[in-house]
Structure 1
Amino acid sequence: MPTRSRLAWVSAIFFLFFLLFAVGGLIPGALRDTIEVWLGLPFSVPPVAHFMLFVAMAFCLPWAWPRLHVAGTLVIMLVLGAVVELLQAWIPGRTPSLEDFLLDTLGAGLGCLIYLWVNRNAETTAVSLNKEN
């Protein structure tokens, strides 16, 4: 896949996860509870969503914008998590949660580690392929 096309797809995936996080984090509490009951999952959605969405966003962000590097990605992800948590103070039925912010932080850290691992393995594979030619 050409680089521009890959970057466009990764950017689109990042924004999809961002939209899911922003909407999920900013809907009123009663609606969120209704959706969670409707889903009927054997676990609470918010903690899993916080962690998994931040893993996915932190993995995609440095690919979409390589100049950010991992440090920039972590800063953006932590600010995003903090802003959404603080905005919940003004949403009916929602309260800011340090636990959610910590899950965001752990997810962002894991997403960055996965990105570094995948990126390093891709570079190693490219180098070994070049040596064979």
Structure 2
Amino acid sequence: MLVLVLLVGTQIPGRMRDLLERGLHAPFPLSSLAHFLLFIGMAWLLASRPIAWPVRHSGAALLCLALLTEGLQVFAVNRHPRWLDVGIDMAGFLVGTLIAVWMGGRRVLPSGAGSEPAG
């Protein structure tokens, strides 16, 4: 469902998106906030049980989704893909994964990784 919302929202014409944001008197772009929050939710779901994908798999899947949603903007009126938006999406992935780790005590690093003394 989150992916469907993301893909449909990506195709909203730029002018309509701008009117919606202005009508809500948002001090910042709501589409960026929406992407960030959706990617937090998707990352959290993928990292939590019963799914519990490895971080590299969920990261790769969400990176592909971020690139897809930016690429689809080429076909929307007055919309343009931006690397910054991919970065915002991946920041959401990072926060969502960290929330899942914090809530579930899930190990992100493989067993023994990071336990060696430095030097």
Partner residue of 1:59 out of 44, 53, 69: 44
Matches for 1:32-111 after TM superposition, within 5 Å:
32-63=17-48, 66=51, 68-111=53-96
| Structure 2: unaligned runs, 5 residues or longer | 107-119
TM (norm. structure 1) is: 0.70
| Counterpart Cα distance in 2 of 1:65 and 1:109 | 19
Aligned partners of 2:60, 2:25: CA distance in 1, in Å? 34
SS at match of 2:54: helix
User: Aligned Cα RMSD in Å?
Assistant: 1.9
Verify the 8 A CA contact 1:74 1:112 in the aligned structure 2: no
| Preserved CA contact (<8 Å) 1:52 1:107 | yes
Cα deviation digits, residues 72-114 of structure 1 (max 9, x gap): 1111111000001011112110000000001111111111111
Q: Which runs of 5+ in 1 are unaligned?
A: 1-14, 122-133
Query: Percent identity between the aligned chains?
Result: 33
Larger CA deviation: 43-52 vs 57-66: 57-66
Which one has the bigger helix percentage? 1
Q: Distance in 2 between matches of 1:115 and 1:95?
A: 32
State the 1:64 CA deviation. Answer: 6.4
Give the count of matched residue pairs. 106
